[in-house]
Amino acid sequence: MDLFANLWMGLSIALTPMNVLYLLAGAMIGMIVGIIPGFGPSAGLAILLPVTFGMDPVGAVVMLAAIYYASMYGGTITSILLNTPGESATVASTFDGYPLARQGRAGPALVMQAVASFVGGTVGVVLITLLAPLFALLARNFGPPEYFLLAMMGMLLLVVMVGGNWRLGVISALIGFALGTVGVDLETGQQRFTFGSAELIGGIDFIPVAIGLFGLGELYFSLWQGLHLSRTGSIVDYHRERRFWPEARDFIETRMTLVRGSLLGFVVGVIPGAGATIASLMSYSIEKSVSREPERFGKGAMAGLVGPEAANNAASAGAMVPLLTLGIPGSASTAVLLAAFLLWGLRPGPLLMSQNPEFAWGLIASMYLGNIALLALNIFAIPLFVWMVKTPYRILAPAVILVCTIGTYSVNGSIVETWLMFVAGIFGFFMKMFGFSPAALVLALVLGKLAEEALRQTLTISRGSFMIFLERPTSLWIIGITAAVLLVAPLLRRAQPRD
Amino acid sequence: MNRVSSMLKSALAAGALAAALALPVASAGPADAQDYPSKRLEWTIAFGPGGGNDIMSRTLIDILQKHKLYPENIVAENRAGGSGAVGWGYVFGKKGDPYQISSTSGSFVTTPLQADTPWKPTDFTPIALLASDDLVLLVKGDSEIETVQQFIEAAKKKPPTIGGIGAVNVDFIIPKILSKQAGFDFDYVSFNAAGELNTALLSNSLDAIMANPGEVLGLIESKDMRPLAYSGETTPPALGDVPTLKEAGYEIGVSLPRGLILPPDVPKEAQDWWIETIKKVVETPEWKDYLEKQILTENIRYGEDFRTFLKTTQDRFAEILREQGAIK
């Protein structure tokens, strides 16, 4: 069959010694880029782009793509250990990942996240191999109305996600929406709430806010509780449970979660836009909805970590579909990859895969190998990370502040964003103290902006008529799926017999 | 009034500074001029890594070093923030320093119109305009419209929706000028990035888009999108026989400048040195290769001609954006 011939050819290209070397280099760099808070894959890719100027395109793309998906593995590590998401796609991983670490289950949590990432990533590549052209159709049908509905779906899922006091959750989300309105109004070009500051024209960036609210906020809170003075003096009470490997129970309980997260992540990831973030959130709320013990979510449920992890890795594979089949980048990272394609003299577009089969299939084949390499790399590196959380807090805390500061500054070299991170940190401390939801705030910041822009684009296109949402088949599908997720899933759960 | 007083203030400040530094300036000035360049060059990139401005700057630095055109070290610094306001503000603050340089792009013209920057594009010492960003007008591949004339005819009957990137941008200005000259109305829909813009056209959400040729070439080849007209002076070879708007009878006359600038008040000798050097740079195969791959229109104007270009472009932008109420 053509497909296997192509894949075989791809493997023979990906397995040349030089390309294997590039792949491993990319995987290592991507892990590191992912681990440093703030320093996300798009910044890492952009900095390494000039290195690839003289390289063979296949080797170069194998390396750059590996950086991209490896950062999805690495990004979760700080979410779990330090409650610090490196990017919006790993926010959902903090909800249950960090509680797991604090309960002394950092080892199992990290192993499970590596396994989930591997399954998500691999399911993603298999789907690219088999069905890329079919999924390209999905990407082709997404216009502003569909983006608005998708963002609305994400926001409705926020309601499911926010635990504890829902009033405080709503207030947190409203603050996030308010922050999202800062910057140049996309439609009219006028400035909103920038107070004449040139730094605010581009709006308030997600990264410094998230690092501040989650990472620094949590850190200040721990210091306030006197963690650095306590006898064990580390984040986790590690002696409570010594097991490094997950238990069989962890795998059995989450096997369906893995499948759901991977498939969902891939499909949502194919859609250009906020794919991986929305996918991880959807996965989290679906898992919470179908779970027999939703009350455990947010307090260290393994499914609450595994679902979003499988989803965001599958989504990063999904994002390759519009890039390879349409030449359309779906995220900041794939936009850098697209710029790289042009630099190497390739012509991205629907004909790329047939005109440059060795390039496209070499890349796809390398993603199989890359995911295997990353699983191994993660498992070997985990003891090192677990050792990190055992470090006395009085040493760890300043190191974390330093790394967060460097990470945030290095993204844009902006001192204003660095200050923003510190201010968000203080804000995060008070939010934690009074039970507000930092997650609702940062996600509203991302989704609110997206929803507002897409709604205004839609209404310009339809000249003010809301009927446009019912006239487009893809829109109707999204409305249907949202209704199903919100209404049917809880009903199903109730129908399930409890044991 | 405000502007006059702030100019007065800065003139006074500059005067005081010059007086305070009179001795060192007097001795350093001529020496610098004679053996320029003799020091490390600091190259400010006013955007983050990976964008169009960054890639152009790094290509130029590569060429200058590979062909040994600049004898000393060159350090590239990304100073991003405020759509270029931060980076160019930094260079503006280095008045008279010939070892500071920066590359320009679209925001060099649009950011000062939007924000209260202390600088205007024409304040800097111009070296050269190298190329311009021009756009192509596209409809979906299965559209009934095949030429720009048909597009305008249809637009006169029913105002189309045209998408582009950003509101204070050439993506909006070009169709606006076209619509005024051809006599039709349209609704402009603004997007953040090329990905969303392209899918908006493919998903039948829009009637037409304005796009950078490099980002849609693959979709043109596969006949998913159909190019109707190009806004630059001459159509790049990659686009084939697509007419320019000028050939279709419309005078657009705006494009975004990709060029090089030095801080204000740099010695004439340094400006001249750079103009001579850039004349060599644009002849290198690496530069030609860059233009071809990025599908940019070569558009070379040296020194004062570049300043004039910046002034006309900005005036034209300001006029149209003010009518729209996008700027004050």
pLDDT on residue B30:
43
Q: Is residue A145 within 8 angstroms of chain B, CB to CB?
A: yes
Task: Give me the interface pTM, i.e. the ipTM.
Answer: 0.85
Q: How much of chain B, in percent, has pLDDT values that exceed 90?
A: 52
The distance in angstroms from the start CA to the end CA of chain A is 48
- 8 Å CB contact of A49 and B50: yes
The owner of tokens 């007008």 is B137
Nearest in space to A415 (alpha carbons), one of B101, B82, B1, B18:
B82
How far is residue A2's CA from residue B240's CA, in Å, rounded to a whole number? 33
* pLDDT of B20 strictly over 60: no
Model pLDDT for residues A244-263, shown as the tens digit of each residue: 778 888 888 888 999 999 99
Longest dimension (CA), chain B: 72
pLDDT on residue A499:
43
Q: How much of chain A, in percent, has pLDDT values that exceed 90?
A: 35
Return all residues near A488 (Cβ < 8 A) that are at least 6 apart: none
How far is residue A491's CA from residue A396's CA, in Å, rounded to a whole number? 45
Q: Could you tell me which chain B residue has the CA closest to the CA of A141? A: B203
- What is the CB-side half-sphere exposure of residue B114 using CA atoms within 13 A? 31
Which residues of chain A neighbour B49 with C-beta distances below 8 Å?
A: 43, 46-47, 49
3-state DSSP assignment of residue B323: helix
Structural tokens at position A318:
């999904």
Tell me: domain B136-239, CATH 3.40.190.10, correct? yes
* Angle (nearest 5°) at CA A317 between A311 and A322: 120
pLDDT on residue A150:
87
Q: Could you tell me which chain A residue has the CA closest to the CA of B110? A: A189
- 8 Å CB contact of A351 and B161: no
Model pLDDT for residues A54-112, shown as the tens digit of each residue: 788 899 999 999 999 998 888 888 889 888 887 778 888 998 999 998 888 888 999 99
Nearest in space to B297 (alpha carbons), one of B186, B188, B170:
B170
- 8 Å CB contact of A144 and B77: no
SS3 per-residue string spanning chain A = CHHHHHHHHHHHHHCCHHHHHHHHHHHHHHHHHHHCCCCCHHHHHHHHHHHHCCCCHHHHHHHHHHHHHHHHHHHHHHHHHHCCCCCHHHHHHHHHHHHHHHHHHHHHHHHHHHHHHHHHHHHHHHHHHHHHHHHHHHHHCCCHHHHHHHHHHHHHHHHHHCCCCHHHHHHHHHHHHHHHCCEECCCCCCEECCCCCHHHCCCCCHHHHHHHHHHHHHHHHHHHHCHHHCCCCCCCCHHHCCCCCCCHHHHHHHHHHHHHHHHHHHHHHHCCCCHHHHHHHHHHHHHHHHCCCHHHCCCCCHHHHHHHHHHHHHHHHHCHHHHHHCCCCCCHHHHHHHHHHHHCCCCCCCCHHHHCHHHHHHHHHHHHHHHHHHHHHHHHHHHHHHHHHHCCHHHHHHHHHHHHHHHHHHHHCCHHHHHHHHHHHHHHHHHHHHCCCHHHHHHHHHHHHHHHHHHHHHHHHCCCCCCHHHHCHHHHHHHHHHHHHHHHHHHHHHHCCCC
Between A255 and B139, the more confident residue is B139
Nearest to A189 among B89, B167, B222 (CB): B167
Model pLDDT for residues B316-326, shown as the tens digit of each residue: 888 888 887 76
Which of B201, B205, B239 best probes binding to A when mutated, by most A CB atoms within 10 angstroms? B205
- What is the CB-side half-sphere exposure of residue A81 using CA atoms within 13 A? 27
Domain regions of chain B by residue span = 37-132+255-324, 136-239
Amino acid present at B91? V
Structural tokens at position B240:
């084939």
* pLDDT of B206 strictly over 90: yes
Which residues in chain A (253-272) have CB-CB distances under 8 A to chain B? 272
C-beta separation of B299 from B131 below 8 A:
yes
Q: Is A304 exposed, middle or buried (0-12, 13-18, 19+ CB in 10 A)?
A: buried
Q: Could you tell me which chain A residue has the CA closest to the CA of B44? A: A413
Nearest to A201 among B114, B196, B220 (CB): B114
Q: How much of chain A, in percent, has pLDDT values that exceed 70?
A: 92
Model pLDDT for residues B280-319, shown as the tens digit of each residue: 999 999 999 888 888 888 889 999 999 999 999 999 888 8
| Residues across chain B | 328
Nearest in space to B81 (alpha carbons), one of A211, A413, A421:
A413
- The bridge status of strand B208-211 relative to strand B161-165 is parallel
pLDDT on residue A493:
58
Q: How many CB atoms sit inside 10 A of residue A274's CB?
A: 24
Which residues in chain A (443-472) have CB-CB distances under 8 A to chain B? 453, 457, 460-461, 463
Model pLDDT for residues A451-481, shown as the tens digit of each residue: 999 999 999 999 999 999 999 999 999 899 8
Nearest in space to A149 (alpha carbons), one of A409, A492, A478, A376:
A478
Between B20 and A162, the more confident residue is A162
How far is residue B20's CA from residue B30's CA, in Å, rounded to a whole number? 18
Which residues of chain A neighbour B291 with C-beta distances below 8 Å?
A: none
pLDDT on residue B41:
94
* pLDDT of B17 strictly over 90: no
Q: Is A54 exposed, middle or buried (0-12, 13-18, 19+ CB in 10 A)?
A: exposed
Q: Which CATH class is domain B37-132+255-324?
A: alpha beta
Structural tokens at position A178:
């308010």
* pLDDT of A126 strictly over 50: yes
pLDDT on residue B9:
44
Stretch (H or E) spanning B241: none
How far is residue A469's CA from residue B84's CA, in Å, rounded to a whole number? 37
* Angle (nearest 5°) at CA B200 between B194 and B205: 155
Q: What DSSP letter does each residue of B261-305 carry, written as one string? A: EE-TT--HHHHHHHHHHHHHHTTSHHHHHHHHHHTPEEEEEETHH
The owner of tokens 């660095």 is A418
* pLDDT, averaged across chain B: 85
How far is residue B128's CA from residue A10's CA, in Å, rounded to a whole number? 45
How far is residue B222's CA from residue A414's CA, in Å, rounded to a whole number? 41
How far is residue A455's CA from residue A49's CA, in Å, rounded to a whole number? 35
- 8 Å CB contact of B55 and A53: no
Model pLDDT for residues B164-194, shown as the tens digit of each residue: 988 888 899 999 999 999 999 999 999 888 8
Nearest in space to B148 (alpha carbons), one of B28, B220, B229:
B229
* pLDDT of A354 strictly over 90: no
Which residues of chain B neighbour A342 with C-beta distances below 8 Å?
A: 214, 293-294
Nearest to A142 among B189, B203, B324 (CB): B203
Q: Is residue A17 within 8 angstroms of chain B, CB to CB?
A: no
* Angle (nearest 5°) at CA B237 between B236 and B241: 95
* pLDDT, averaged across chain A: 85
How far is residue A140's CA from residue A136's CA, in Å, rounded to a whole number? 6
How far is residue A148's CA from residue A437's CA, in Å, rounded to a whole number? 24
Phi, psi at A382, each rounded to 5°? -55, -45
The distance in angstroms from the start CA to the end CA of chain B is 16
3-state DSSP assignment of residue B22: helix
Shortest Cα distance, chain A CAs vs residue B241, angstroms: 19
Model pLDDT for residues A370-402, shown as the tens digit of each residue: 999 999 999 888 888 877 777 888 888 898 899
C-beta separation of A169 from A440 below 8 A:
yes
Q: In degrees to the nearest 10, what's the CA dihedral of A419, A422, A426, A427?
A: 60
Nearest to A412 among B48, B85, B326 (CB): B48
Q: How many CB atoms sit inside 10 A of residue B322's CB?
A: 12
- The bridge status of strand B208-211 relative to strand B225-230 is unpaired
Shortest Cα distance, chain B CAs vs residue A460, angstroms: 7
pLDDT on residue A106:
85
Phi, psi at B323, each rounded to 5°? -60, -40
Return all residues near B33 (Cβ < 8 A) that are at least 6 apart: B267, B269, B270
Q: How many CB atoms sit inside 10 A of residue B127's CB?
A: 26
Structural tokens at position A15:
């397995």
The owner of tokens 């084949």 is A365
pLDDT on residue A490:
63
Q: How far, in Å, are A139, A322, A469 from residue B141 at the CA level?
A: 16, 18, 24
Shortest Cα distance, chain B CAs vs residue A294, angstroms: 36
Q: Is residue A136 within 8 angstroms of chain B, CB to CB?
A: no
* pLDDT of A178 strictly over 90: yes
* Angle (nearest 5°) at CA A479 between A474 and A481: 95
The owner of tokens 């569909």 is A146
Nearest to A347 among B79, B117, B221 (CB): B221
Task: Tell me the mean pLDDT in the region A231-246.
Answer: 63
How far is residue A339's CA from residue B89's CA, in Å, rounded to a whole number? 27
Phi, psi at A201, each rounded to 5°? -60, -40
Between B171 and A232, the more confident residue is B171
pLDDT tier at A158 (50, 70, 90 boundaries)? confident
Stretch (H or E) spanning B174: helix B170-182
* pLDDT of A191 strictly over 90: no
Q: DSSP label at B208?
A: E
Task: Tell me the mean pLDDT in the region A333-352.
Answer: 84
- What is the CB-side half-sphere exposure of residue B139 using CA atoms within 13 A? 18
Which of A342, A356, A408, A411 best probes binding to B when mutated, by most B CB atoms within 10 angstroms? A342
* pLDDT of B10 strictly over 60: no
